[in-house]
Amino acid sequence: MPHYIECVDEETKNAYEAQPKATYVNPLNPMNKHLDFGNYQINLKQLKGGKLQFRTKGGYFVKGLENKRLTPNMKIIIDKLISGGDVEYEDVDRLNDDEKDYLSRMAAKAGINDRLKIPSPTLTKTQSDINKFNVLRGQIVAGNDSSEMIKEFKCLLLKLSNSGHIDKREANEVMVMLLQLGL
């Protein structure tokens, strides 16, 4: 059993041990140390050591998918994806937000989104900001002119404008309109 399994909770340890042991050999070409994984390849030697390393078909590093040391929970999911097994909701639910975000980016870049449905925490945060912005906008249009609420509205307006979710020209027009109203 790998040494990093000893420092996790009992549920994760049992789930890891219940998994069939993955064989890290390319079934199409046993001499090749890389395995096709969507649009990219995974280095099997690194994976056996607990590290996820993506390469392009030409052997180059993949921008945006850095090498990552795998936690036991991530290893369970990667092993299931490689072996063609189904990834269950409980497997994804055990991951922390950083791991879910990495898994979401990996699935999108590798083109395996159809095999894996993960709510990205960053998308959820952005979506909650957009919802909060719409609620505050509705309150201002309805006549609520609380200084704290307007300050929060302006902060969200700038944040969403800088992230590209609101057009900068429109955000500037709204800020000028608020200044003209004295808010």
pLDDT at 16 over 80: no
Selected residue with higher pLDDT from 121 and 147 = 147
- When mean pLDDT is compared across 39-48, 84-93, 97-106, 114-123, the lowest value belongs to 114-123
Give me the sheet containing 40-43, strands edge to edge.
34-37, 40-43, 54-55
Kindly state the percentage of the chain with pLDDT values over 90.
Answer: 0
Q: What share of the chain is helix, strand, coil (3-state, %, to 5)?
A: 55, 10, 35
Shortest CA distance to 157 belongs to which of 141, 143, 169, 144?
Answer: 169
Over residues 27-31, mean pLDDT? 53
pLDDT (0 to 100) of residue 30? 55
CA 2, 25, 60, 110 torsion-angle sign? negative
Give pLDDT tens digits for 88-107.
777 888 888 888 888 888 88
pLDDT (0 to 100) of residue 1? 47
pLDDT (0 to 100) of residue 21? 52
- When mean pLDDT is compared across 61-75, 79-93, 117-131, 159-173, the lowest value belongs to 117-131
Mean pLDDT, the chain, whole residue set: 78
